[in-house]
């Protein structure tokens, strides 16, 4: 008798070996479907909310309205290559002694705008308040600026760039620092208030032509911060946040030092030489 015949063995295919998309590829596909086309943090839609101390007491939003477009123009000059120019949306809520600013763009656009603002504020401290913006000499209207909120991959809430004045009570005898436990609550309230303002402005932009103008005027003309129950923080609360130097939000320079600085990673093998001897068992 000859050796028994062997039946052919069916090859077993490991289902895990089949080609499949990575999580990163799936995320990119979803972004492409939405028309975002992002390929990194600098391409994702982002928003930053700033709290600025006015250089002088204001009675309207006119000064701030002309200042920020010049900042954005300065930021666009940093772009290299054939990239689409940074697009900015947002709003300024101008108080008598401070200003809340919401800026929306890509992550790269946000950082470019903050770098331009940092340079302008730095020149304002060394050149008697004058800063060069968009080829002209203009006075920086802020003594300082702090970042109270930053959001990545955040849908745009504002239909364009807007400015409005907040009816608030300003004090003539100065402001006291806000205690640390309340700083975060006030910063959160400020962030929510400006985002809700953007949503109201977005509703106005989507309204019929006859109603749009009235809705825009209502959203920007009815900003009040006279009582603690109002949507916007009071002037005393915002100035209290600015006066808390030790426990308040980071300045623009401090924010950039963290989010716009080159990575500095030290490997253990670089820090320890010669390497420790192997353990003996």
Looking at residue 122, its pLDDT comes to 84
State the Cα angle at 270 between 266 and 274, rounded to 5°. 155
Sort 131 into a burial class: Cβ within 10 Å, 0-12 / 13-18 / 19+.
buried
Domain ranges within the chain, ordered by starting residue = 34-260
Q: Is 42 helix (H, G, I), strand (E, B) or coil?
A: helix
- CATH for 34-260? 3.30.70.100
Alpha-carbon distance 50 to 62, whole Å?
Answer: 18
Residue 104: strand pairing partners: 47, 89
- pTM for the predicted model, two decimal places: 0.77
Q: What pLDDT is stored for residue 189 in this prediction?
A: 96
The predicted pLDDT at position 135 comes to 43
Residue 7 pLDDT: 66
Give yes or no for a contact between 50 and 141, defined as CB atoms under 8 angstroms apart. no
What's the pLDDT score for residue 214? 82
With contact defined as beta carbons under 8 Å apart, do 120 and 140 qualify? yes
DSSP letter (8 states) at residue 261: S
**Could you give the residue ranges of the DSSP H alpha helices within 138-272?**
180-205, 209-221, 235-243, 252-259, 268-271
pLDDT along the chain (281 residues), means of 10: 63 66 76 68 88 92 86 85 81 95 93 93 62 50 93 87 93 90 94 94 82 81 90 95 92 92 67 67 66
**Please, which residues bridge with residue 136 across strands?**
133
Q: What is the pLDDT of residues 45-95, one digit of tens each?
A: 899 999 999 999 999 888 877 899 999 999 998 776 556 789 999 999 999
């Amino acid at each position: 008798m000859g050796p028994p015949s062997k039946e052919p063995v069916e090859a077993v295919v490991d289902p895990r070996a089949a080609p499949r998309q990575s999580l990163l590829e799936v995320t990119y596909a979803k972004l492409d479907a939405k028309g975002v086309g992002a390929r990194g943090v600098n391409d994702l839609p982002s928003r930053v909310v700033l709290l600025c101390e006015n250089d002088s007491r204001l009675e309207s939003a006119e000064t701030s309205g002309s200042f920020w477009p010049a900042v954005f123009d300065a930021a666009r000059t940093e772009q290299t290559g054939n990239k689409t120019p940074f697009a900015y949306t947002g709003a300024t809520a101008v108080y008598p002694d401070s200003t809340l600013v919401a800026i929306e763009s890509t992550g790269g656009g946000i950082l470019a705008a903050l770098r331009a603002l940092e340079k302008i504020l730095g020149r304002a401290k060394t050149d008697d308040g004058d800063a060069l913006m968009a080829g002209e000499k203009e006075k920086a209207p802020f003594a300082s600026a702090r970042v109270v909120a930053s959001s990545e991959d955040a849908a745009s809430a504002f239909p364009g760039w807007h400015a409005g004045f907040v009816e608030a009570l300003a004090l003539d005898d100065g402001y006291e620092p806000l205690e640390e436990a309340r700083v975060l609550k006030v910063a959160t309230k400020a962030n929510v208030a400006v985002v809700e303002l953007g949503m109201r402005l977005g509703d106005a932009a989507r309204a019929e032509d006859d109603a749009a103008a009235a809705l825009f005027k209502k959203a920007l003309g009815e900003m009040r911060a006279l009582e603690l129950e109002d949507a916007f923080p009071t002037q005393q609360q915002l100035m209290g946040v600015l006066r808390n130097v030790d426990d308040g939000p980071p300045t623009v320079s401090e924010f950039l030092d963290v989010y716009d600085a080159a990575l500095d990673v030290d490997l253990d093998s670089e820090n320890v030489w010669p390497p420790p001897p192997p353990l003996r068992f």
